[in-house]
Structure 1
Amino acid sequence: MYRNQVNYALIEDASKRRVSYNKRLKGILKKSDEPKTLCDVEVATVIYGPYRNEPYTFPNNDVVQNTFIKSKELPTLERSKNKVTREEFTMQRIKKLEEQLQKVRKENRVKEMTNEMYEVFNRKIVLADMNPSDFNDLYVV
């Protein structure tokens, strides 16, 4: 069974918004607890919400402070090793998609040339308007 797709927009009704906030808060806390349990890593979660005066920290304030202090004390190179800006992420994504596109184009070209070869073997007429590079591609396939 699948869940209904959620429309991401501000919930106008304040009571429904608070109920949704509490449900999602539980979900986020559960998700942040999983890596700690499964992988034995330090996890710190800080959530600022409209329903509490101070931020909600998980697992507790001392652990969160110690985790952020450890993170801040790391050398700059170590701290920023896995961080990327939005532009860097976008450029990496574009590069990856372009590589995938080139791979698909190459596969399509091979399939196209294979089909041309089958037509030649079945004594169909070879297209006269083929480029010499097409003949080279037929030879490679």
Structure 2
Amino acid sequence: MAGRKKVKLAYIINDACRKASYNKRKKGFVKKMKEISILCDVPVCGILYSQYESRPIVWPNPLEVQRLITQFRNMPEDERNKKMVNHEMFLKQRIEKEQEKLNKLKKENREKQIRMLMNQCLAGRPLTGLNLDGLNDMDCMIKGSLTEIVTQIKSRKEKELAEMNQPQVAPPQVLAATTDQNMHAAMETQVFDQSNIYTKQTVPWFLGDVPNQQFGFVDDQIPPL
């Protein structure tokens, strides 16, 4: 699908083409006023004079147009003219904006040129064709680069110094037992295990004179060798 052809904004010399364009754009103009009034909730009115109409086109109606015009005229002059521009002021603003863009491009190109000359100096080539203004520009750029480098070095040193001065949290220390303590604990474990074995296995055979209600004395239950 082909895009819409860009229309050149210029006076249409042919009467028929001009009238056809007027009728088509008149409807679009009214439609746009209605849309901006609904979408943005702002009061809008329009008056359109033309040689093709016996009466001017007024939107939305004459009473609303009169009310908005009266309200506009009753506003303070500073507020009323704050964003109002005529054709001359509009062109002046556009020229100022374009001049700012041009100055920005000139500055960028000048910086690139100075950087190329600096690279030539580092390569050992002589600076030919550079006037006093160019040398001053190069001097300013070199000083600015040195200042930026010194600032970065200082910032990194301060950061490293701050990291070194931060208190380090030591890991929890585990107290190692001495050799005597380890041996003592091992002996206690062994004695405890042996006592358990002794209690479970040998107690019924060596109770001596302890009476037993069912079998009398335990000694009577010892089997002969």
TM-score range, shorter chain: 0.7 to 0.9
- The answer as to 2:80 corresponding to 1:79 is yes
Q: Which runs of 5+ in 2 are unaligned?
A: 146-225
Measure the CA separation in 2 of the matches of 1:73 and 1:54: 27
Q: Give the aligned partner of residue 112 of structure 2.
A: 111
Deviation by residue 1:53-91 (Cα, 9 ceiling, x = unmatched): 211011222221111111112122222222234444444
> After the TM superposition, which residues 58-73 of structure 1 pair with which residues of structure 2 at under 5 Å, given as runs?
58-73=59-74
Identity of aligned residues (%): 36
Measure the CA separation in 1 of the matches of 2:13 and 2:86: 30
Query: What is the Cα deviation at residue 134 of structure 1?
Result: 4.4
Residue 89 to residue 6, structure 1, CA distance change in 2 (3 Å): closer
Which amino acid counterpart does residue 73 of structure 1 have in structure 2?
N
Structure with greater contact order relative to length (CA < 8 Å, sep ≥ 6): 1
Query: So what's the TM-score if we normalise by structure 2?
Result: 0.53
Q: Give the aligned partner of residue 126 of structure 1.
A: 126
May I ask how many residue pairs the two structures share in their alignment?
Answer: 139
Measure the CA separation in 2 of the matches of 1:46 and 1:103: 42
3-state SS, counterpart of residue 54 of structure 2: coil
Which amino acid counterpart does residue 109 of structure 2 have in structure 1?
N
Aligned-residue Cα RMSD (Å) equals 2.4
Q: Give the aligned partner of residue 12 of structure 1.
A: 14
Moved over 6 A (4+): none
Query: What is the Cα deviation at residue 27 of structure 1?
Result: 1.3
Deviation by residue 1:97-124 (Cα, 9 ceiling, x = unmatched): 3322222111111111122223333x25
Find the structure with the greater CA-based Rg: 2
- Contact preservation (8 Å) 2:47, 2:57: yes
Measure the CA separation in 2 of the matches of 1:62 and 1:96: 40
Residue 22 to residue 129, structure 1, CA distance change in 2 (3 Å): closer
Which segment is superposed worse, 62-71 or 38-47? 62-71
Q: Give the aligned partner of residue 43 of structure 2.
A: 42
